[in-house]
């Protein structure tokens, strides 16, 4: 998630531009809980997906991908992993995580270790969040879940993988509570687990439990007061609860923490609307 949140993207609903989920590896790596695109049902195969993706590329990009594909096809078995990895990285740059995940999964099938499994799983989860295709979304979430489960079986105490898996479970409409329980398990093991707290806060907002969301975000601020972006989450939660005065307090607190003149002006404008 980018912390450069623009209040113009604020609505009286959830902070769509802000509400994303932090992955455990680093504060800069985040995952979206809310899908941005409406899903469409289209029958696909990996070959068709690659073909469709190439149709949107420039001639030079197509040529580059074709060069690496040819190299992969002609490579000795011991060299294929390197070319698969290069193709995956190229497709990541081209914003095609499903295809990147496909190549990483091929690597993990032969060279099965936690790093390869997680690398593939995270691309599939990214595909789940970004795709507008029903079949791709479903396959992406299913595959990501399976890969994270396999990775966790190799490292049962890995907290990062547990969080990733929890997010997959949460998106499973058949049993989202499985993900919530796993997040709670992470917090029980470490009450200062900011990422698990954050995700539960976001989930509380998504389900309209704004009081609980505020509690979670306040817990994080007590641990790390420099997490200024959380002031926006709390402010919006108070807006949803109809407590505009408290919302204004938190918007003002956030405003005092940023040097972005444009953002400050937008916050001021939003505050004026709340006062109406």
Residue 32, pLDDT > 60, answer no
Q: How many domains does the chain have?
A: 1
Which range among 19-28, 49-58, 75-84, 250-259 shows the weakest confidence by mean pLDDT?
Answer: 19-28
- Confidence at residue 239, expressed as pLDDT on a 0 to 100 scale: 95
Task: Write down the pLDDT at residue 263.
Answer: 87
List the structure tokens of 60: 């030079």
Query: What pLDDT shows up at residue 36?
Result: 39
Cα Rg of the chain, angstroms: 21
Q: Is residue 179 part of a domain?
A: no
Check: pTM over 0.85? Answer yes or no.
no
Q: Is residue 94 part of a domain?
A: yes
Does the pLDDT at position 4 exceed 70?
no
pLDDT of residue 23: 28
Q: Is residue 241 part of a domain?
A: no
Give me the pLDDT at residue 44, please. Answer: 66
Provide the 10 A C-beta neighbour count for residue 84: 20
Greatest mean pLDDT among 167-176, 207-216, 250-259 lies in: 207-216
Average pLDDT over residues 78-101: 97
User: Is 130 a domain residue?
Assistant: yes
Is there a domain that residue 265 lies in?
A: no
Name the average pLDDT for the chain: 86
| Domain housing 97 | 44-156
Structure tokens at 217: 């975000």
Answer whether residue 11 shows pLDDT above 90: no
More confident residue, 52 or 28: 52
Instruction: Write down how long the chain is.
Output: 276
Percent of the chain with pLDDT over 90: 78
Q: What does the pLDDT read at residue 21?
A: 30
> Comparing 29-43, 51-65, 94-108, 143-157, which segment has the lowest mean pLDDT?
29-43
pLDDT single digits (tens) 148-200? 999 999 999 999 999 999 999 999 988 899 999 999 999 999 999 999 999 99
Report which of 185, 147, 177 is spatially closest to residue 165, judged by C-alpha positions.
Answer: 147
The H or E element containing residue 31 is strand 30-31
Average pLDDT, stretch 209-237? Answer: 96
Report residue 229's pLDDT band, with 50, 70 and 90 as the boundaries. very high
In a domain, 27, yes or no: no
Reported for 141-149, long-range contacts at CB under 8 A and 24+ positions apart, including other chains, are: 141/168, 141/171, 141/172, 143/101, 143/105, 144/101, 144/168, 145/169, 145/172, 147/105, 147/108, 147/117, 147/118, 147/120, 147/121, 148/117, 148/118, 148/121
In a domain, 106, yes or no: yes
What phi and psi values does residue 103 have, to the nearest 5 degrees? Answer: -70, -40
Better-scored residue on pLDDT, 12 or 185: 185
CATH of the domain at 48: 1.25.40
Tell me the C-alpha distance between 82 and 85, whole Å.
5
> What is the percentage of the chain residues whose pLDDT exceeds 70?
84
Residue 165 maps to a domain: no
Neighbours of 29 (CB within 10 A): 14
71 or 26, higher pLDDT: 71
Give pLDDT tens digits for 113-147: 999 999 999 999 999 999 999 999 999 999 999 99
């Amino acid at each position: 998630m980018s912390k450069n949140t623009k209040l113009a993207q604020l609505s009286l609903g959830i902070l769509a531009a802000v509400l994303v989920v932090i992955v455990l590896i680093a504060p800069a790596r985040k995952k979206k809980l809310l899908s941005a695109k409406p899903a469409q049902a289209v029958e696909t195969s990996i070959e068709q997906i690659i073909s469709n993706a190439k149709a949107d590329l420039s001639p030079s990009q197509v040529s580059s991908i074709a060069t690496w594909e040819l190299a992969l096809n002609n490579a000795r078995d011991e060299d294929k992993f390197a070319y698969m990895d290069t193709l995956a990285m190229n497709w990541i740059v081209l914003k095609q995580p499903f295809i990147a995940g496909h190549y990483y999964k091929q690597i993990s099938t032969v060279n099965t270790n936690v790093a390869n499994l997680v690398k593939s799983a995270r691309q599939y989860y990214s595909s789940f969040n970004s795709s507008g295709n029903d079949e791709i979304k479903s396959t992406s979430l299913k595959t990501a879940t399976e890969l994270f489960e396999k990775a966790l079986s190799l490292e049962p105490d890995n907290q990062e993988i547990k969080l990733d898996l929890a997010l997959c479970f949460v998106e499973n409409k058949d049993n989202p509570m499985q993900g919530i329980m796993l997040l709670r398990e992470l917090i029980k093991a470490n009450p200062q687990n900011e990422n698990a707290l954050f995700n539960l806060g976001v989930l509380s907002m998504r389900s309209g439990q704004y009081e609980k969301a505020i509690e979670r975000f306040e817990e994080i601020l007590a641990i790390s007061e420099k997490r200024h972006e959380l002031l926006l989450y709390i402010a919006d939660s108070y807006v949803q609860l109809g407590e505009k005065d408290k919302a204004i307090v938190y918007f003002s607190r956030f405003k005092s923490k940023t040097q972005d003149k444009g953002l400050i002006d937008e916050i001021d404008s939003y505050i004026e609307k709340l006062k109406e």
